[in-house]
């Protein structure tokens, strides 16, 4: 190919307006802000029915019987389905392990598990009918932590497991276990001058996306079904839906509808199969929309974790070794637990050079709510623990916490505990330097002219709890490492279809992928890539559906890299076709057709010297070039199940934070004043979106630090399934977030870019907690930090 | 579900008498949440929004007669001087959208121990004007709350207005929540100095089955201030007195452990708020205006 451009000359040479590197605005932005955007919950179809899901009130129980007769007898009810109505032998689904029942069969394993479905002509009718379904439960003992999971008489969540992890786990209530060994910990430990250890805990965070689970299934005349759905990965849904319905995949036609946020919570199925079952049973379109309460039961959450860490360092501040054990609570079904284990273990050392490690991570099966993907995916939990350890070590050595981290920071060429060499820029020390160099916000910002206090700048805000009394400032730092893309040997590819034609004299590109736009700005970036590669102004983004090949998941910070890579790759192939056509048609008129490097710019074929050779319209002569191609990133390898060795990750992503907090030490209330972030993004395809992602991730990390937690009782019951009591940061809790973006190209990635969506979520949490520790002198080994943790009044239960 | 829309106060009373189970709806910021959560499925809603007089207020000699449906936003904008404690409390309610709709009448109707207007009403001194086709009752606010989310309204009664004592001295309100806005109180405290009667009144929210006054704390402080002649001298309150007052406020509470906070924390926080708000109010009384700026 004569016209392949490298990242460097793209950056300098792109003349396309609205191409990569520009902050073009999102097409959905204004609509969302003004309330006009159509979300999946806004869909409507003539004659449609409403589906409702009856859920288990118990965390663990045997189902003795289900009597649906009264529900079926209610006027307006069209169908009531239970396990017995499932049409095929495939009754379970799951991302990696098919262990999740479409509807409960004889047993429920968590609070809120779907037991029966109702379709009725009105949502209220469906709800009332569901209340008339009589389910006889016999409660079973509840598995709620590691001790109860592996106790001698522990009930097995999934007896007779046959999945690919069943053979190597030490107990059937352990989903997956990944050890990693490298170096000689005993010898290194003997060399250590300072050894610190700690036990840390991370609460169950929720994705708290604002658009609840919803979708519309429309039965087709061919016996198939059209499903309009808010999801993160259409083809993964399809793979799980079609077998349960007993339909070939081509008869389950899926179209992405407006997605109101995801953050991992839509990687698993929610109401997809249910809506299709009801639609196929009734022959009518069926819409299901969860309300907020149900949404808390309708998706997986972030794994709560317990982490034990030991680190050693020499007097001159060099890390000697690290030992850790990470226990993740996967809840009742596997979901993404195995991959979360892979991440937690392989990233447990953080962005540091540690040659001697003993690592173990496991995920449990329990009767708690199922946990799976959430922004940061296993790396968040580890980062909270290892960053606390770094501060402890620095304190133990009498060193500055930033300098200590810089002294041990990894860089390009570092060997990970998995044996993988970090083969692209890893500017960990530089990111720390940058956040530290930013000017600190002024002291006592609440003091205004005169004697009055501006309470908005104080902990408690307008709640008027302090005018400065008891308030102490703290500053804390943290840095983290996240993998980008699917790891451990997964065939992580994306497909893009690109069509180039001239319409009404103007060249137009249509980009068609199955990428789920969940708010990350993927559609914006795809148009930018097409403009840059094809030199056109007009780019249409085709709605995402399953009429084109898979785009993989909108998760793992991977979409700009992988689907963006696929769009770039397909555009290059389209461009090559244009040039072929051009050579065939006009090659004899100008020698440059054969000799020069040719580009598409401004609707024309030009030489790299800028000479115009032909108009696209003349080259295409009414033809359209239409290609659909797959693109994959470099392959990865699984981690060895005993040693954890393997080139498991594609790319790493780094961010560092400095948190400045004011703590009301008497009331235990915290105001995060500023959360400065520095992140390496490789190449900012859309700088505005990059800053938006960093600020959003930072805020989500703040939420985990000081407020966000799903509280589950020892009986496995969710105690706060609402936004009244599951608190997420409001704009008044969101600090100033200065962002410093570094662009060090990764030569393996399209345009040199680095996936960015998750890294800022990691280091935000430990930076905030470090700042609170600095203000209070407390150990704070658990997030979210609650007022009681700062003032010492625990719950009477302990 | 029936939706009753009386055009006048008389029609509303008649409708309530005829449909005693009809649930009044003012701003709807509690009612709609309850319906949404399926906590409540009333067979009829009685919409009060067409009755203009319920959104009006009158400033009298000694009291403000606040129409039941006056939204918080109006209280913040227009009644800060007369009802400073309630205005501070109103400022902590929900978000701008909620403050544009939510009302003190609704807060009283809901009678949640966590309602933010209650501590301010208790501290200022207020009476609820409860009306039915049978007549009008003036209910002192401390007698209005009867249990968790229960009040003493009869099935045919509606709240027409709340009569709140105009501030005759500094008032403060303080609320602990686990985020800096849009949060239900973990606990809250209101205090009002009444130099005219040389008394101090208080209100505690979210730390007992109903909103309550910390009577023992009030009595202690009243006599401590009187004995030391502090109302006249305007000298600072001795720290030991403030501490004792705070302890008595803590002791007045009867809180529970729940997802929002532990009982022990609530007691602790009430003591801190009591000490601080007393300090701010007293400083203001002494002439050192130190009120917080709330924009
Ligand atoms: C997001 C959100 C945040 C909130 N934050 C807070 C907060 O921070 N602090 C707080 O205190 N509250 C809060 N609330 C609760 C609510 O806003 C308040 O209780 C508000 O005062 C209710 O007023 P309303 O006019 O909306 O009442 P409605 O919802 O209309 O009514 C509430 C109750 O009072 C009854 N009622 C209303 N008017 C009358 C009347 N005239 N006579 C007899 N009964 C009547 C109704 O039948 C109902 O039982 C919040 C609510 C939401 C949705």
Using CA atoms of A707, A391, A427, A322 in order, give the dihedral in degrees to the nearest 10.
Answer: -110
pLDDT of residue A11: 39
Q: Contact at 8 Å (CB) between A139 and A111?
A: no
Q: How many CB atoms lie within 10 A of CB A167?
A: 9
Length of chain B: 295
State how far residue A663 is from chain B, nearest Cα, in angstroms. Answer: 12
Q: Report the candidate in A766, A708, A798, A721 with the shortest Cα–Cα distance to residue A379.
A: A766
CB contact under 8 A, A733 and B179: yes
State how far residue B123 is from chain A, nearest Cα, in angstroms. Answer: 16
Local structure of residue A62 (DSSP, 8 states): E
CB contact under 8 A, A796 and B263: yes
Q: What is the pLDDT of residues B68-88, one digit of tens each?
A: 999 999 999 999 999 999 999
Euclidean distance between CA atoms A59 and A139, whole angstroms: 8
CB contact under 8 A, B294 and A464: yes
Ligand 1 binding pocket includes B205 (Cβ within 6 Å) = no
* Residues of chain B contacting residue A787, judged by C-beta atoms under 8 Å apart: 176, 178, 186, 261, 265, 269
CB contact under 8 A, A456 and B272: no
- Name the residue of B17, B20, B24, B129 to mutate for ligand 1: max ligand atoms within 8 A of Cβ: B24
Q: What is the pLDDT of residues B144-169, one digit of tens each?
A: 999 999 999 999 999 999 999 999 99
| A1 interfacial to chain B (CB closer than 8 Å) | no
SS3 B40: coil
Residue of A nearest to B39 (CA): A293
Please give the residue that has the higher pLDDT: either A378 or A16: A378
pLDDT of residue B110: 97
A559-586 vs A522-534: helix crossing angle, rounded to 10: 20
CB contact under 8 A, A467 and B173: no
Average pLDDT over residues A246-263: 98
Q: Report the candidate in A721, A654, A742 with the shortest Cα–Cα distance to residue A110.
A: A721
The residues, ordered by sequence, that sit 6+ positions from A221 with a Cβ below 8 Å of its Cβ are none
- Whether the per-residue pLDDT at B295 is higher than 70: the answer is no
* Residue A148 CA: distances (Å) to CA of A523, A711, B261: 46, 18, 27
Euclidean distance between CA atoms A665 and B191, whole angstroms: 23
Report residue B288's pLDDT band, with 50, 70 and 90 as the boundaries.
Answer: low
Whether the CA torsion A597, A601, A604, A609 is positive or negative: it is negative
Instruction: Calculate ∠ Cα A177-A180-A186, nearest 5°.
Output: 125
Euclidean distance between CA atoms A480 and A387, whole angstroms: 8
How many angstroms separate the alpha carbon of residue B26 from the centre of ligand 1? Answer: 8
Structure tokens at A438: 């930013």
Q: What is the pLDDT of residues A619-678, one digit of tens each?
A: 999 999 999 999 999 999 999 999 999 999 999 999 999 999 999 999 999 999 999 999
The residues, ordered by sequence, that sit 6+ positions from A175 with a Cβ below 8 Å of its Cβ are A97, A165, A169, A330, A334, A337, A338, A341, A362, A363, A364, A365
* Residues of chain A contacting residue B276, judged by C-beta atoms under 8 Å apart: 465-467, 469
* Residues of chain B contacting residue A452, judged by C-beta atoms under 8 Å apart: 289-293
Euclidean distance between CA atoms B118 and A690, whole angstroms: 46
What pTM did the predictor assign?
0.96
Kindly report the average pLDDT of chain A as a whole number: 96
Euclidean distance between CA atoms B109 and B246, whole angstroms: 30
Q: Contact at 8 Å (CB) between A480 and A763?
A: yes
- Whether the per-residue pLDDT at A605 is higher than 90: the answer is yes
pLDDT of residue A647: 98
Q: What is the pLDDT of residues A614-632, one digit of tens each?
A: 999 999 999 999 999 999 9
Q: What is the pLDDT of residues A54-81, one digit of tens each?
A: 999 999 999 999 999 999 999 999 999 9
Considering only residues 23 to 42 of chain B, which have any Cβ-Cβ distance to chain A shorter than 8 Å? 33, 36-38
Chosen from B85, B87, B180 to mutate, greatest number of chain A CBs within 10 A: B180
Which secondary structure element, helix H or strand E, spans residue A619, and what is its range?
helix A616-620
| B115 interfacial to chain A (CB closer than 8 Å) | no
Lowest model confidence (mean pLDDT) among A60-74, A455-469, B29-43, B114-128:
B29-43
The residues, ordered by sequence, that sit 6+ positions from A695 with a Cβ below 8 Å of its Cβ are A677, A737, A739, A760
Q: How many CB atoms lie within 10 A of CB A430?
A: 18
Ligand 1 binding pocket includes B68 (Cβ within 6 Å) = yes
Euclidean distance between CA atoms A669 and B99, whole angstroms: 24
Q: What is the pLDDT of residues A264-273, one digit of tens each?
A: 999 999 999 9
Report residue B128's pLDDT band, with 50, 70 and 90 as the boundaries.
Answer: very high
CA atoms within a 13 Å half-sphere pointing along the CA-CB vector of A384: 32
Ligand 1 binding pocket includes B119 (Cβ within 6 Å) = no
Instruction: Calculate ∠ Cα A582-A584-A587, nearest 5°.
Output: 70
* Residues of chain B contacting residue A127, judged by C-beta atoms under 8 Å apart: 38
| A666 interfacial to chain B (CB closer than 8 Å) | yes
Q: How far apart are the first and last CA of chain B?
A: 41
Q: How many CB atoms lie within 10 A of CB A159?
A: 7
What percent of chain A is modeled with pLDDT above 70? 97
Considering only residues 361 to 420 of chain A, which have any Cβ-Cβ distance to chain B shorter than 8 Å? none
| A449 interfacial to chain B (CB closer than 8 Å) | no
CB contact under 8 A, A725 and B259: yes
Q: Contact at 8 Å (CB) between A784 and A206?
A: no
Length of chain A: 798
Euclidean distance between CA atoms B142 and A413, whole angstroms: 72
If you count DSSP H runs as helices and E runs as strands, how many of each does chain B have, helices first? 12, 13
Q: Are strands B44-47 and B2-4 parallel, antiparallel or unpaired?
A: parallel
Ligand 1 binding pocket includes B29 (Cβ within 6 Å) = yes
Q: Contact at 8 Å (CB) between A499 and A624?
A: yes
Q: What is the pLDDT of residues A544-600, one digit of tens each?
A: 999 999 999 999 999 999 999 999 999 999 999 999 999 999 999 999 999 889 999
Local structure of residue A41 (DSSP, 8 states): G
State how far residue B112 is from chain A, nearest Cα, in angstroms. Answer: 14
pLDDT of residue A15: 62
pLDDT of residue A451: 66
Euclidean distance between CA atoms A534 and A329, whole angstroms: 48
Q: Contact at 8 Å (CB) between A586 and A605?
A: no
pLDDT of residue A797: 53
Q: Whose CA is nearest to atom 35 of ligand 1?
A: B109
CB contact under 8 A, B38 and A448: no
Cross-strand partners of A479: A656
Report residue A449's pLDDT band, with 50, 70 and 90 as the boundaries.
Answer: confident
The values of phi and psi at residue A272, to 5°, are -60, -55
pLDDT of residue B294: 41
pLDDT of residue A13: 39
Q: How many CB atoms lie within 10 A of CB A27?
A: 13
How many angstroms separate the alpha carbon of residue A293 from the centre of ligand 1? Answer: 20
Which secondary structure element, helix H or strand E, spans residue A451, and what is its range?
none
* Residue A378 CA: distances (Å) to CA of A330, A648, B119: 11, 15, 45
pLDDT of residue A22: 97
Q: Report the candidate in A256, A284, A253, A288 with the shortest Cα–Cα distance to residue A270.
A: A288
- Whether the per-residue pLDDT at A1 is higher than 50: the answer is no
CB contact under 8 A, A451 and B290: yes
| B184 interfacial to chain A (CB closer than 8 Å) | yes
- Whether the per-residue pLDDT at A2 is higher than 80: the answer is no
Q: Can you tell me which atom of ligand 1 is nearest the CA of B46?
A: 47
CB contact under 8 A, A293 and B37: yes
CB contact under 8 A, B268 and A793: yes
CB contact under 8 A, B174 and A456: no
Q: What is the assigned CATH class of domain B182-294?
A: alpha beta
Report residue A448's pLDDT band, with 50, 70 and 90 as the boundaries.
Answer: confident
- Which DSSP string do the residues of A475-539 spell out, in sequence order? EEEEEEEEEES--TT---EEEEEEEEEEETTEEEEEEE--B--SSS-HHHHHHHHHHHHH--SEE
- Whether the per-residue pLDDT at A798 is higher than 80: the answer is no
SS3 B99: helix
Chosen from A208, A465, A719 to mutate, greatest number of chain B CBs within 10 A: A465
| B173 interfacial to chain A (CB closer than 8 Å) | yes
Structure tokens at A713: 């009782």
Which secondary structure element, helix H or strand E, spans residue A266, and what is its range?
none
Ligand 1 binding pocket includes B85 (Cβ within 6 Å) = no
Q: Which residues of A546-583 are buried (b: 16+ CB within 10 A; e: fewer)?
A: bebbbbbbbbbbbbbbbbbbbbbbbbbbbbbbbbebbb
How many angstroms separate the alpha carbon of residue A459 from the centre of ligand 1? Answer: 26
A759-776 vs A687-706: helix crossing angle, rounded to 10: 40
Q: Contact at 8 Å (CB) between A104 and A115?
A: yes
Q: Which residues of B128-153 are buried (b: 16+ CB within 10 A; e: fewer)?
A: bbbbbeeeeeebebbebbeeebebeb
CB contact under 8 A, B272 and A667: yes
State how far residue A349 is from chain B, nearest Cα, in angstroms. Answer: 32
Q: What is the pLDDT of residues A87-138, one digit of tens each?
A: 999 999 999 999 999 999 999 999 999 999 999 999 999 999 999 999 999 9
Ligand 1 binding pocket includes B94 (Cβ within 6 Å) = yes
Q: Can you tell me which atom of ligand 1 is nearest the CA of B92?
A: 8
Q: Contact at 8 Å (CB) between A477 and A657?
A: yes
* Residue A784 CA: distances (Å) to CA of A263, A475, A488: 19, 18, 31
Q: Contact at 8 Å (CB) between A452 and B290?
A: yes
Question: What ipTM is given for this predicted complex?
Answer: 0.95
- Whether the per-residue pLDDT at B58 is higher than 90: the answer is yes
Q: Report the candidate in A509, A573, A511 with the shortest Cα–Cα distance to residue A3.
A: A573
- Domains in chain A, start-ordered, CATH in brackets? 44-140+212-259+266-298 (3.90.1170.50), 153-206+302-381 (3.30.365.10), 421-486+649-791 (3.30.365.10), 493-632 (3.30.365.10)
Q: What is the pLDDT of residues A730-776, one digit of tens each?
A: 999 999 999 999 999 999 999 999 999 999 999 999 999 999 999 99
């Amino acid at each position: 190919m004569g016209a392949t451009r490298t990242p460097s000359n793209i950056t300098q040479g792109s003349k396309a307006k609205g191409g990569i590197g520009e902050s073009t605005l999102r097409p959905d932005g204004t609509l969302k802000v003004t309330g006009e955007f159509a979300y999946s919950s806004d869909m409507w179809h003539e004659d449609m029915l409403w589906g409702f899901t009856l859920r288990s009130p118990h965390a663990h129980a045997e189902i003795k019987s289900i009597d649906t007769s009264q529900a079926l007898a209610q006027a307006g009810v069209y169908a009531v389905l239970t396990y017995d109505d499932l049409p095929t032998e495939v009754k379970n689904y799951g991302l990696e392990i098919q262990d999740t029942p479409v509807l409960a069969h004889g047993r429920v394993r968590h609070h809120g598990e779907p037991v029966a479905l109702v379709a009725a002509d009105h949502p209220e009718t469906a709800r009332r009918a569901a209340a008339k379904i009589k389910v006889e439960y016999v409660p079973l003992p509840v598995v709620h932590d590691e001790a109860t999971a592996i106790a001698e008489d522990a009930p097995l969540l999934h007896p007779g497991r046959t999945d690919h992890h069943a053979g190597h786990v030490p107990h059937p209530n352990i989903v997956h276990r990944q050890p990693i060994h490298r170096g000689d910990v005993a010898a290194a430990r003997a060399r250590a001058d300072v050894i610190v250890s700690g036990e840390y805990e991370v609460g169950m965070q929720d994705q708290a996306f604002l658009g609840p689970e919803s979708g519309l299934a429309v039965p087709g005349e061919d016996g198939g079904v059209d499903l309009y759905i808010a999801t993160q990965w259409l083809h993964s849904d399809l793979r799980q839906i079609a077998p349960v319905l007993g339909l070939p995949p081509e008869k389950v036609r899926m179209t992405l509808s407006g997605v109101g946020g995801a953050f991992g919570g839509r990687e698993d199925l929610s109401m997809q199969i249910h809506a299709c079952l009801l639609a196929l049973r009734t022959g009518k379109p069926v819409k299901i929309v969860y309300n907020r309460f149900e949404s808390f039961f309708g998706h997986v959450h972030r794994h709560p974790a317990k982490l034990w860490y030991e680190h050693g360092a020499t007097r001159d501040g060099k890390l000697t070794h690290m030992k850790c054990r990470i226990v993740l609570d996967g809840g009742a079904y596997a979901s993404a637990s195995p991959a979360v284990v892979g991440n937690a273990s392989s990233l447990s050392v953080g962005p540091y050079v540690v040659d001697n490690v003993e690592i173990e991570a496991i995920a449990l099966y329990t009767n708690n709510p199922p946990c799976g993907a959430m922004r940061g995916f296993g790396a968040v939990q580890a980062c909270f623990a290892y960053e606390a350890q770094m501060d402890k070590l620095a304190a133990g050595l009498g060193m500055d916490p930033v300098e200590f981290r810089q002294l041990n920071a990894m860089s390009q060429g570092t060997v990970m505990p998995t044996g993988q060499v970090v083969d692209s820029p890893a500017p960990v020390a530089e990111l720390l330097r940058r956040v530290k160099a930013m000017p600190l916000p002024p002291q006592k910002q609440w003091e205004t002219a005169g004697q009055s206090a501006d309470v908005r700048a104080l902990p408690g805000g307008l709640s008027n709890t302090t005018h400065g009394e008891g308030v102490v400032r703290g500053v804390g730092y943290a840095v983290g490492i996240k993998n980008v893309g699917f790891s451990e040997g997964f065939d992580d590819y994306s497909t893009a279809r690109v069509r180039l034609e001239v319409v009404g004299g103007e060249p137009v590109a249509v980009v068609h992928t199955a990428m789920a736009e969940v708010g990350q700005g993927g559609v914006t970036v795809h148009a930018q890539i097409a403009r840059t590669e094809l030199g056109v102004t007009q780019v249409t983004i085709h709605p995402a559906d399953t009429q084109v090949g898979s785009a993989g998941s909108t998760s793992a910070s991977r979409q700009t890299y992988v689907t963006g890579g696929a769009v770039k790759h397909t555009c290059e192939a389209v461009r090559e076709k244009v040039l072929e056509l051009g050579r065939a048609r006009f090659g004899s008129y100008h020698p440059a057709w054969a000799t020069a490097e040719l580009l598409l710019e401004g609707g024309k074929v030009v030489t790299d010297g800028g000479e115009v050779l032909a108009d696209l319209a003349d080259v295409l002569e009414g033809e359209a070039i239409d290609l659909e191609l797959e693109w994959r990133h470099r392959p990865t390898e699984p981690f060895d199940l005993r040693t954890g060795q393997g080139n498991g990750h594609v790319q790493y992503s780094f961010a560092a934070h400095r948190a400045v907090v004011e703590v009301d030490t008497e009331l235990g209330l915290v105001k995060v004043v500023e959360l400065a972030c520095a992140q390496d993004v490789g190449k900012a395809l859309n700088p505005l979106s990059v800053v938006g992602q960093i600020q959003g991730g930072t805020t989500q990390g703040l939420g985990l630090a000081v407020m966000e937690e799903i509280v589950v009782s020892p009986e496995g019951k969710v105690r706060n399934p609402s936004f009244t009591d599951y608190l997420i940061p409001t704009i008044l809790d969101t600090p100033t977030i200065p962002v410093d973006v570094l662009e060090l190209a990764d030569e393996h990635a399209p345009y040199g870019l680095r996936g960015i969506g998750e890294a800022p979520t990691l280091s935000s949490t430990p930076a905030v907690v470090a700042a609170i520790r600095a203000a209070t002198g407390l150990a704070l080994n658990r997030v979210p930090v609650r007022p009681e943790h700062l003032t010492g009044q625990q719950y009477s239960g302990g | 579900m029936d939706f009753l829309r009386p055009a006048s106060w008389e029609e509303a009373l008649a409708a309530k008498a005829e449909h005693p189970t009809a649930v009044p709806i003012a701003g709807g910021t509690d009612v709609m949440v309850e319906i949404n959560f399926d906590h409540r499925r009333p067979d009829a809603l009685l919409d009060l929004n067409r009755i203009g007089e319920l959104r009006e207020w009158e400033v009298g000699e000694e009291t403000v007669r606040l129409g039941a449906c006056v939204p918080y936003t109006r209280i913040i904008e227009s009644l800060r001087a007369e009802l400073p404690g309630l205005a501070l409390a109103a400022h902590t309610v929900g978000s701008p959208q909620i403050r544009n709709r939510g009302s003190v009448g609704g807060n009283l109707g809901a009678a949640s121990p966590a309602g933010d207007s209650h501590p301010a009403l208790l501290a200022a001194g207020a009476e609820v004007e409860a009306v039915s086709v049978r007549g009008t009752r003036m209910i002192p606010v401390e007698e209005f709350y009867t249990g968790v989310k229960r009040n003493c309204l009869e099935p045919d009664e509606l709240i027409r207005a709340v009569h709140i004592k105009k501030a005759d001295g500094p008032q403060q309100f303080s609320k602990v929540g686990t985020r800096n806005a849009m949060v239900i109180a973990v606990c809250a405290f209101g205090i009002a100095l009444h130099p005219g009667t040389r008394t101090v009144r208080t209100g505690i929210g979210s730390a007992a089955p109903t909103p309550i006054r910390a009577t023992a704390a009030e009595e202690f402080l009243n006599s401590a201030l009187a004995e030391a002649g502090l109302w006249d001298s305007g000298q600072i309150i001795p720290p030991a007195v403030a501490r004792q007052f705070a302890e008595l406020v803590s002791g007045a509470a009867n809180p529970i452990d729940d997802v929002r906070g532990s009982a022990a924390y609530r007691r602790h926080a009430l003591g801190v708020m009591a000490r601080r708000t007393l300090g701010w109010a007293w400083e203001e009384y002494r002439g050192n205006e130190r009120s917080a700026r709330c924009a």
